[in-house]
Chains A and B, each alone.
Chain A
């Protein structure tokens, strides 16, 4: 267990700036998720913490010790890679024992710790197999096992679930969360999946083109997005953005309305009118895709039991104005007065 601080860290590859200054203080045992679209610099940030990339400027410390020039092997971290990066020529046991062997741990202790991790991850029947003889989910578990046997001070995950199918992903997500809680190891977890971020994170860093747009607890970020980007990225389906002048407002540029905050009303009774293009009935809920009179698209989420108008029909759309999200021309949040 350890604390981790990242202070104004920047990264430049050749002439391209990739990370423009990210800072966060991570408490002991905290689970931090770094989330953002592809190419925003999540992996780069994680790899700098791992020591696999140099830090251009700024400082990374673990337990107060400056890490910038410390080699990866001396940082006491463990990392789970997207492609698992298992040693193909070693058995599951040897994969998990590798780090301990190098550290010169006594044989009996290695056996005990690996067995313990194997039991935790239900890998016992596979200890003699080679990675190529395992399924994707099992490989993922071996990668997790390799990380936990070393009892590192910080866990790093780089999209560990993105190669699994949807169902397995949900299951592994729960297992990771449970495991991390049990072990209490400070963790940094990279994903581009906002559902993963919401469910796993104690706090999340929403990254946008090399900047941390917002750092906060998942529900706090959802309820109070700091920028238009965050409002659009967190929450599914995505927030609707309307130009303020189409609603006859001034003082702000764009207004965000979450699909789950809007509802259908009779035409001209709401805040906007639109024609229904198509409805997606998902069972528990129905997503309605409408085209507003101004030409903009609007997605609305309603209960699966609520009546659905015919396609092409014109409907009114209403929402609670207090829950509107206001943004200025720069995409920054403007707080509603009162």
Chain B
């Protein structure tokens, strides 16, 4: 039976809701509304007046090859971040699930990266791979590999992907481990007795039973790669070389704050807003039917 708390009257519930409503209004609705408003105008170079252009900013954006390239970059980047962070996390979770002794320490160590702020993580990785003073770059040099993510687009992408995925592994690991431990031991044992070896068991029993967790993490990680990797990209590559690591969020910043194209930048924000909306719908749809089997 679901337990419901009921209030008499309206005043108390309204009061309790008020702080959250105010925060949402001030920090979300107001700027979002402003972005929508601004996306319809082009300000003059001095910011003194602005000209109404209707959907002109959007029209321009969709025709802009750089903006379309940024879409592709974002897709590649988030795909890779999600794949790497979830893949590594799942692998570690499977190992931890089998481990009984010492799993506490192991888990605690794995959770640390999550506590590191994205910008700090970015700086960390940047120094390790710095072309002149980085340890890793130096070792790669010894091995005969000339690392230079400042010039090489693939290396730049690889580095921001790894740096972004790294901070995410802990979070994914915790969810995967919880998911694995929720699978009754006897079900796994029954499969073993039925003749299934480790990999068969994983493919036919564990993976399907883990699918709600996997799907949830998929959405959450894509959202993360889209919106929360700004710090990593800003510190490591600043979107370069050229446009190679300029994902949509970074382009909003670059065009708006660096390029001073406020109208175009606002229009980009609105497009992102729509994307978040879509992802949220997907997520809610999923939560509605949490049980997949």
Contact = CB atoms under 8 A, between A and B. Distances in A.
Nearest to A75: B193
B150 to A, nearest CB: 49
B193 A87 contact: no
B187 A87 contact: yes
B186 A73 contact: no
A89 B184 CA distance: 13
B259 interface: no
B193 A73 contact: yes
Contacts of A77: 193
A90 to B, nearest CB: 8
A87 B192 contact: no
Interface string A45-83: 000001110000000000000000001110101110111
Interface stretch (B155-163, B170-178, B195-203, B244-252): B195-203
A88 interface: yes
B186 A85 contact: yes
B216 to A, nearest CB: 17
A146 interface: yes
Interface in B180-194: 184, 186-187, 189-194
Instruction: Determine chain A's interface SS by DSSP, over half rule.
Output: loop
A54 to B, nearest CB: 14
A98 B193 contact: no
Contact of B293 (A50, A73, A85, A130): A130
Nearest to A52: B189
B217 interface: no
Contacts of A50: 189, 193
A87 B186 contact: no
Say which size band chain A's interface belongs to: 20 to 34
B272 interface: no
Contacts of A51: 193
A81 B190 CA distance: 8
B205 interface: yes
A216 interface: no
A86 B184 CA distance: 10
A103 interface: yes
Given A98-B194, A103-B195, A88 B293 contact: yes
B196 A102 contact: yes
B208 interface: yes
A99 interface: yes
Contact of A89 (B186, B189, B190, B293): B293
Q: Give 7 closest A-B pairs by Cβ, nearest first.
A: A89-B293, A99-B194, A85-B186, A85-B190, A73-B195, A102-B195, A72-B192
Given A79-B190, A99-B195, 4 more contacts: A85-B189, A98-B204, A103-B195, A150-B194
